[in-house]
Amino acid sequence: MGPLLVITLTLIAATVALLLVLVVRRLLLARGERRYAEVAERLLPVAIEFVAGDQSPPKGLSAYEQTVLAQQLRRYAQMLTGEATERITSYFRGSAALGAARRRLRSRLAWQRADAAFALGDMGVDEVTPELLRALDDRKRIVRTAAARALGRLQAEEATVPLVEAFVEHRVPRGVAGDALLRIGSKIAPQLRDLAGSPEIELQATALTLLGLVGDAGDSDVALERLQDPAADVRVAAAEALGRIGSPHAEPALHVALDDRMRFVRAAAASSLGTIGARNALPKLIEIARTDEFQPARAAAQAAVKLDLVAAQAAAEAPDAGPHLHEAVDRAAL
């Protein structure tokens, strides 16, 4: 037999073997999918009875059935709140599924660690928070992202600073970290107040932005103080936070910020004055709308319209009104 023939026959045999493996694998997967679908359909009423009713799952479920039920309960945990999620968490506390997920969080395979972190977030058992905090420093981004999501779902207050740092350093997608922090909610405010005094500009600015979203009137003092910061990014974040918090005590400081050397700080101050209803600032806002650079002029015009449409319309009719007042008045008429 010539060598070419041997090679050809070897390749044919290898191809056939590979095809056989693929076919067998596909058949096994299909059988697994059918089995899963059958068990899931049978257990759906059990999951629903548990989540929305008062029936505990029956004892004596096989390990496979428990796995399927756990996945269904995790899915419901993503869709529901209130008593339903409390029941789901109580189910998972001390369960085999929780133990398995904690073990997989230590897997050598990144996808398994990420999957485990994701699952732990759905299970809602807060005793896993320390492990998820460690996972936030994982070498793989998908694991860190899943851990950030999970910490948000657990509303883990102790994750505030690590999540803000992960946000600032882009170690997880900012949307995921931001969403997690907002899910934790106003509990993060004390730690944000501390972070607002950090020597790192970006940490300060991020903390102030978040404080504007979750804080209340009691947090405006921190933002007022930071409105004097040497870093413009911090002053912008402080001005925006004051607008979101909505405290009228911020009016004098924001009025001063209308003369800031940086245009985007002036713009943020103008916008916030409009949001908090600072009518005393109207003449200055109209002046800025007429004469300042694009960004603060536009923000001031929009704020003026918000504060007093009639006065803004009158100002827009002046020959030297500039384009921004006209634009803001026209938009208000839509």
- For the record, the structure tokens of 333 come out as 């008429």
Which one of 48, 217, 318, 332 is in contact with another protein (CB under 8 A)?
48
- Cβ–Cβ contacts within 10 Å for residue 230, how many? 7
By CB under 8 A, the residues from 83 to 142 that bind another protein are 83-85
Which one of 44, 96, 109, 256 is in contact with another protein (CB under 8 A)?
44
Q: Which is nearer to another protein, 46 or 224 (CB)?
A: 46
Q: Which is nearer to another protein, 19 or 52 (CB)?
A: 52
Inter-CA distances, 176 with 49, 127, 132, 158, 169, Å: 32, 22, 15, 17, 13
Q: Cα separation of 174 and 189, whole Å?
A: 19
DSSP letter at 157 equals G
Residue 51 lies near another protein (rule: CB under 8 A):
yes
Q: Cα separation of 215 and 208, whole Å?
A: 9
Q: Which is nearer to another protein, 71 or 295 (CB)?
A: 71
Q: Which is nearer to another protein, 84 or 232 (CB)?
A: 84
Residue 52 lies near another protein (rule: CB under 8 A):
yes
Q: Quote the least distance from Cβ 327 to another protein, whole Å.
A: 22
Q: Which is nearer to another protein, 84 or 133 (CB)?
A: 84
CB 230 within 8 A of CB 259: no
Q: Quote the least distance from Cβ 200 to another protein, whole Å.
A: 32
- Contact window for another protein (CB under 8 A) among 74-82, 105-113, 199-207, 269-277: 74-82
- Contact window for another protein (CB under 8 A) among 50-58, 140-148, 239-247, 326-334: 50-58
Residue 244 lies near another protein (rule: CB under 8 A):
no
Q: What residues contact residue 147 under an 8 Å CB cut-off, 6+ apart?
A: 117, 132, 133, 135, 136, 138
Inter-CA distances, 328 with 21, 201, 239, Å: 67, 33, 21
Burial of residue 311 (CB within 10 Å: 0-12, 13-18, 19+) is middle
Q: Which of 133, 109, 110, 137 is nearest to 121 (CA)?
A: 133
- Contact window for another protein (CB under 8 A) among 21-29, 40-48, 171-179, 189-197: 40-48
Residue 29 lies near another protein (rule: CB under 8 A):
no
Residues found near another protein in the complex (CB under 8 A):
44-45, 48-49, 51-53, 72, 75-76, 78-85
